[in-house]
Structure 1
């Protein structure tokens, strides 16, 4: 399990990391889309985006290609790029697909083995999340910090699976990258969610406490090298997001 050897060829990131300019464009445009500030149907002209962000058109085109693969943007030969109309059904289907892919990645991560450094990084993410929850305070800012740890946790598990096909498939399933509570922030979901679920509480909400506990259980299974347990735990964990959305969107 705890090896010091470099990653094998399944785990290398060469060619998979975006150039800094592309990453800047990608982050900026993705956030505008998922928060609804750029509505569905909006055309995304590379030249206009490049001018606004102060970059060349090359990283913009690269970023738009990534967003197309993620399902946030569509491309037509005659009309170019445009923001896709994402529906609640799209979100629920994507979460279910991601649950299957991430759970398998979790099992594979144990089969291939975690390096000492990778495992230590995962532990740090989990215990930072626990410290946030244990403080008993909650706000939009705290939510953002916790969700950043959440994204890093899931990304690391998938990365350590050393399975590039799964990694690429998951990118397509990340229709809504999680910056915070999807029930409150996602434009495709919020219209179906009663107001009471869209208010930021002052204490960690129940679904965050449950999610944090799941992270700790998954970490324990990885530590114990119990691949089947870790895989099942990850499946249940991700599916809770779908089940919660399905529940809150039907309580009208």
Structure 2
């Protein structure tokens, strides 16, 4: 545990357990708590300048989300991000997004189509080495893509998936650089053109490999 961590801000009005959970999740995602790190309640509490109670609650939630595992005699240990984790998240997200995209296709207003194009243009101006910014803009595009989907539960489920800590952690393993950025921009432009021609089959096919972990993941096993 190093100087990259900081104490919880006292002026934040949200419940302390929520703040601590957010901080622990972010520190795991950002690599400040690397895989195999032990998250001992007392040490984490001291690190963030809080009591043990919100830390205990936050660690329980972190474990439920799959970021850490409770190991007897060792406390919580940060999990590694496996290829199976990546494949499982992608499989569920693609299946749900394909369903939502089919339901949304043909229902976008001219203003929504203009907004989608503006998102792609902005995406191309981002720093190609900034994985977080690329992912944020990409996820916003995908949310706008399914915005006309009439199934509220389907849209909220997909929003929760994009915001899930495991999904956010996957973004930190994305290959970064101009090629990655150009590939995603091209995928998004193909989706937009298919929307304009009411072609759900092309949209679903592009979604099959857009943000595909087999293509985007870096490191061993990529």
Under TM normalisation by the shorter chain, which class is it?
0.5 to 0.7
**1:40 maps onto 2:35 in alignment:** yes
Q: How does 1:66-215 map to 2 (within 5 A)?
A: 67-75=62-70, 81-110=76-105, 113=107, 121-132=115-126, 140-141=129-130, 143-157=131-145, 161=149, 162=152, 163=154, 164-168=156-160, 171=164, 174=167, 176-179=169-172, 182-183=174-175, 204=178, 206-215=179-188
Q: SS in structure 2 opposite 1:238? A: coil
Gaps of 5+ in 1: 1-18, 133-137, 184-199
Return the alpha-carbon distance in structure 1 between the equivalents of residues 148 and 73 of structure 2. Answer: 40
Deviation at 1:93, TM superposition (A): 4.0
Counterpart of 2:215 in structure 1 is: 243
**1:53 maps onto 2:42 in alignment:** no
Indicate if the aligned counterparts of 1:95 and 1:173 stay in contact, CA closer than 8 A.
no
TM-score (ref. length: structure 1): 0.58
Distance change (3 Å), C-alpha of 1:58 and 1:151: farther
Deviation at 1:85, TM superposition (A): 3.0
Deviation at 1:212, TM superposition (A): 0.8
Return the alpha-carbon distance in structure 2 between the equivalents of residues 65 and 116 of structure 1. Answer: 45
Indicate if the aligned counterparts of 2:132 and 2:171 stay in contact, CA closer than 8 A.
no
Deviation at 1:96, TM superposition (A): 3.6
Q: How does 1:217-228 map to 2 (within 5 A)?
A: 217-228=190-201
Q: SS in structure 2 opposite 1:182? A: coil
Q: SS in structure 2 opposite 1:40? A: coil
Distance change (3 Å), C-alpha of 1:35 and 1:66: same
Deviation at 1:108, TM superposition (A): 3.5
Q: SS in structure 2 opposite 1:140? A: coil
TM-score (ref. length: structure 2): 0.63
Indicate if the aligned counterparts of 2:83 and 2:221 stay in contact, CA closer than 8 A.
no
Count matched residues. Answer: 204
Return the alpha-carbon distance in structure 1 between the equivalents of residues 46 and 110 of structure 2. Answer: 44
Return the alpha-carbon distance in structure 2 between the equivalents of residues 157 and 25 of structure 1. Answer: 33
Q: SS in structure 2 opposite 1:128? A: helix
CA RMSD of aligned residues (A): 4.2
Gaps of 5+ in 2: 1-13
Return the alpha-carbon distance in structure 2 between the equivalents of residues 87 and 218 of structure 1. Answer: 29
Indicate if the aligned counterparts of 2:124 and 2:181 stay in contact, CA closer than 8 A.
no
Distance change (3 Å), C-alpha of 1:67 and 1:250: closer
**1:233 maps onto 2:206 in alignment:** yes
Higher relative contact order by CA 8 Å / sep ≥ 6: 1 or 2?
A: 1
